[in-house]
Chains A and B, each alone.
Chain A
C-alpha cells in the first residue's frame, strides 16, 4: 500500500509539472485576453489569410512527406528484408545514419547543394550545360518535402522491415499450395499483412513533418511561406503574440493526438504477433539480374540523404569559401578556430548541450527504468495508467511543448524561464516516450521466472534486483540513456522557443550562425554534432548487440 502511494504521488507530481500544468496554461492562454475569455485568437488564426495559408502549407508538407517516405522506405525495406540484394548491412547502416541525422543539418547541407544561385549542384549544372537557369531550387515546397522526406523515410522503413521480418514464409506457402499464384499471394496475404505497417509508417512520417521546425525555417522562409511551426516561432518575435502562438498550437496538438489514435486503432483485433506454432523460416527472393540495379537505386537514395549532404558539410568545414572548388589554396582550419575560439556563443553552447544531454539522459534513464520495472512487474495497482502516462508526451510536438512550458514557467510560482531547468523539463518530457519504449522492451525481455528463481533460493527482492535484474537490464538501460542523449543534443524545435542568451544550445547556435551566413562554422558544429551522435549510436549497438533499427530475430 505505502509502496503504491509513493509511486503514485511521484507519478502524479511528474505529470503535473511536465504536462498537465503547461498544457492547462496553454489552453487558458489561447482563450484569454485583457477583456476576459475570448475565442478571438482562434478566429484570428483560422481566418487570417496568411495564417490559414500556413496551416494549409503544413498539411501539404506533412501529407507529401508521408507519401514520399513510403515511396522510398517501402521498397528499401522489402529489398533488405526479403531479397538477396547485395550490401544489406551497408544499406541498413545508411538508413540508420539517415535516421539519426538531425534534419536541420540536412536542410543546411541541401541549401549549399541546391540553392538556386550558389548551390553546388546548380553550379555544376550551369557549368556543364551552359544554361543560366538552375537545375533545381531547394527553396520551394517540393524542395522542402524532399529534404524532410529523406530523413523521415526511416520511420516507414523500420515499420515495414520489422513486419516483413515477422512474416514467416509459411504464411505465403500456405496460400500458394491452396492454389494462389505469386501475385495473388502478394495481394491477398503479404500486402494485407504489411498494410498496417505501411499506414503506421505513413502516420509516423506525417507526425514528424508536422512537428518539424528546423527544415521549414531554413527552406520555407526564404521561399516566402510559413508552416505552423515557423509561424509559432515568429509569434515570439517582437512584439510577441503569445496568445496567438497558443491558439495556433492547438490544431497541431489535436492533429497529432488524432493521428496517434488512428495508428493505435489500425491493428484492431487482428493480433499481428506470430500466431501459434514454431516460427517458420523466411526465404529470400533471388533478384538475379536485378541485384546490382537494386543496390544502385538504394545507394542513389543514400546519396541524397547521406553522401552528398555529409560531403558538402565536410567541404564547407575545411574550406575558406564553401562555394569555391576544393584545392590547397581553399583548404583551411580557420573555420574550426573561428567556431571554437572566436565566435562567442559556441563554447558555452557546447557545454550547455553536453550538460543537458548528460543530465537529461541520466535522470530520464533512471526514471524510465523505474517506471518500466514497476509496470512490467505490476508492482502497483493501476500500473497500466503509469505506462500510459509515460507514453503520453508523444502527442505533444516539441514546439507546442515549448510554448506551453514558456507560458507556465515565466510566471510565479515557478519562474524557470532563462534557466537550463526549463530546457531540462522540455527535453525530459519530449524524450520520455522513446526512453520508456526502450526500457519497457528491456524488462519485457526478462522473464519474471529469472527473478523468482533467485527469490526461491533465498535472495530478497532488492538483492534479486541487484544480482539478477540489474545486470540483465543494464544494456537496455544504457541504450535508453543513449536514445535520450541523441534526442537532446539534436533538439531544436523546443529549444528555439525556450533559449535565452545565457542558455543557448548547439542547435540554436547553428541556427543563429545561419542568420549571419557563417556556413563554415555551421558545418563545423554540424560535424561535431554528428560525431557525438554516431559515437552514441555505436555505444547503443554495442550495448544491445544488434542494430538500432529493430528486431531482426
Chain B
C-alpha cells in the first residue's frame, strides 16, 4: 500500500520568518494522482522536496502506507524512500547517455540481472518513444525528448511514489498538451501514486484525480477538479480555478444576499441576516434572457458595456441596471449583443456559491 499521509508539515527556510510550508496536512490515496496547485511561491516545490526527503521538516510527519518516512528525530534519507522524481529542470546528467541516464536507478536494484536491466531500459524507452536514442547525450536532444528521458528515468525503477515538479513548464504549448495526456496515460498504465506540482490550473484539471490548492504554505482546499470548480470554498480558490464573479454583499435574509439594491437568492444557504457574505457566480452559469418586464427573483435588467468575440462564445461585461455591480457573462456565439444594448440576466440560485472569509 502506498497511500501518502502528510501530517502538520512545517518548514521555514533559514533566516526567513514566514513558513514556506505551514502546518500542512494532506492525504494521497493509493494509486491516486494528486496535483499540488497554487501561485508562484506558495510552497509547492518545498512540499514536494519535503516528501522526497531533500528537506527536513521542522515539525510534522510523512507516512507512506504504514512506513514512517519522516518524524522529528527519525528521517529516512531520499535514497531509501523508494520514490522517483521528475525535476523542473529535468536534471538529466550531461555526462551520461540516454540509456545510462534511464538505467541509473536500476544500478541500485541488486536483485536485477544485467540482461533484465537492459531489457527494462529498452522497454521503457519504447514506451516513451525514444527507442533508437540510447547512445545520445542529453545535450543532443530536443526539449520534449529530454523531458521524456526524465519520465523514463523515473518510471523505469517502478517507484512506489512518483513526484513531479512542473515537468511541463518548459515545453511549448502544443507539446505541453500532448505530454499532459501522455503523463495521464502512463499514470493509468502504471497506477503509481503520484504527486504533481503545477501552477497551471488547466493542466491540473486535465491530469489529476484530485487537486490540492495551496495558498501561502497551507492547503486552501482539496477535491476533485469538478468539486473545486463547482463548489470553491474560498475567494482564493474560486478565483484561482477558472474565471468567476465575486459578489460582496450583506445577508438580507437567511438565503438572500444584497449588494447595492441587487438581491440574489442563494440555494440552500443559512446566513445570519446582517452578516457580510461573498458569493462566487461563474460567468457561464448566468443565462442571458429577454429584459424582464416585472421584477422577479434572480432576474435583472443589465446593460452591455463590452463584448469580446472568442470564436465559440462571447464574453460580455455587463452592468446591472440601478446598481454598480459589474458581471462577466458568457453568451452563445449565435446571438451577439452590442455594447449599450439592454438584456436580462437570470442567475440560478444554485449557481451562487457562498465563499468563506468575506
Contacts and interface: CB of A to CB of B under 8 A. Distances in A.
A170 interface: yes
Contacts of A179: 79-80, 105, 107-109, 157
B77 interface: yes
Contact of B89 (A181, A272, A278): A278
Scoring A171, A269, A274, A277 by chain B CB atoms within 10 A of each residue's CB, the highest score goes to: A277
Contacts of A173: 52, 54, 78, 85, 87, 91
Contacts of A188: 104
Interface in A274-299: 274-280
A177 B79 contact: yes
B192 interface: no
Interface stretch (B116-124, B139-147, B306-314): B139-147
A111 to B, nearest CB: 44
Interface in B78-121: 78-81, 83-85, 87-96, 104-105, 107-109
A122 B83 CA distance: 61
A195 to B, nearest CB: 8
Interface string A65-101: 0000000000000000000000000000000000000
Contacts of A277: 87-91, 146, 170
Interface in A301-354: none
B89 A170 contact: yes
A206 B25 CA distance: 58
Scoring B77, B80, B87, B163 by chain A CB atoms within 10 A of each residue's CB, the highest score goes to: B87
Interface string B133-170: 00001111001001100000100010000010000011
Contacts of B163: 177
Contact of B137 (A168, A270, A279): A270
B89 A176 contact: no
B147 A276 contact: yes
B93 A193 contact: yes
Interface string A174-188: 111111110000001
Interface residues of B, number: 38
A273 interface: yes
Interface in B33-92: 52-54, 77-81, 83-85, 87-92
Contacts of B109: 179
A180 B170 contact: no
Interface in A246-292: 269-280
A276 B90 contact: yes
Interface in A149-179: 168, 170-171, 173-179
Interface string B158-201: 00000100000110000000000000000000000000000000
A170 B87 contact: yes
A448 interface: no
Contacts of B54: 173, 176-177
A176 B108 contact: no
Nearest to B105: A178
B88 A278 contact: yes
A72 to B, nearest CB: 25
A185 to B, nearest CB: 8
A273 B139 contact: yes
Given A175-B104, A177-B83, A178-B157, A280 B88 contact: yes
B94 A270 contact: yes
Contacts of A170: 87-89, 91
Contacts of B81: 177
A192 interface: yes
B94 A272 contact: yes
A189 interface: yes
A170 B138 CA distance: 15
A266 to B, nearest CB: 11
Nearest to A172: B91
A181 B137 contact: no
Nearest to A191: B95
Contacts of A181: 77, 79
Interface string B220-249: 000000000000000000000000000000
A174 B79 CA distance: 10
Nearest to A168: B89
A83 to B, nearest CB: 15
A272 B137 CA distance: 10
A166 to B, nearest CB: 10
B91 A278 contact: no
Contacts of B88: 170, 277-278, 280
B104 A276 contact: no
A173 B88 CA distance: 12
Given A180-B108, A276-B138, A171 B91 contact: yes
B55 to A, nearest CB: 10
Interface in A213-259: none
Nearest to B157: A178
B80 A271 contact: no
Contact of A276 (B77, B85, B143, B157): B143
A288 to B, nearest CB: 15
A198 to B, nearest CB: 13
Given A269-B137, A276-B138, A178 B84 contact: yes
A179 B112 CA distance: 14
A270 B157 contact: no
B94 A271 contact: yes
Given A173-B78, A180-B108, A276 B146 contact: yes
B12 to A, nearest CB: 16
A188 B90 CA distance: 18
B87 A176 contact: no
A175 B154 CA distance: 10
A270 B95 contact: yes
Interface in A371-409: none
A19 to B, nearest CB: 33
A271 B170 contact: no
A271 B91 contact: no
Contacts of B84: 177-178
A278 B94 contact: no
Given A270-B139, A275-B139, A277-B170, A178 B79 contact: yes
B336 to A, nearest CB: 37
Contacts of A174: 85, 87, 91, 93, 153
Contact of B93 (A171, A269, A278): A171
Contacts of B147: 276
B169 A271 contact: no
Nearest to B81: A177
A279 B88 CA distance: 8
Contacts of A178: 79, 84, 104-105, 108, 153, 157
Contacts of A269: 137, 139-140
B52 A177 contact: yes
A179 B105 CA distance: 7
A180 B93 CA distance: 14
Given A175-B104, A181-B79, A277-B170, A193 B90 contact: no
Contacts of A279: 89
Nearest to A178: B105
Contact of B78 (A176, A193, A270): A176
B92 A276 contact: yes
B104 A192 contact: no
Interface in A189-210: 189, 192-193
17 contacts: A168-B91, A170-B87, A173-B54, A174-B91, A178-B79, A180-B108, A181-B79, A193-B94, A269-B140, A272-B94, A273-B94, A275-B92, A275-B94, A277-B87, A277-B170, A278-B88, A280-B91
Given A177-B85, A270-B95, A280-B91, 11 more contacts: A171-B92, A176-B79, A177-B84, A179-B108, A179-B109, A180-B104, A180-B108, A269-B137, A275-B94, A276-B138, A276-B146
Question: Which 9 pairs from chain A and chain B are nearest by CB?
Answer: A271-B139, A179-B108, A178-B105, A277-B89, A170-B91, A174-B91, A276-B146, A275-B138, A276-B90
Interface of B: 52-54, 77-81, 83-85, 87-96, 104-105, 107-109, 137-140, 143, 146-147, 153, 157, 163, 169-170
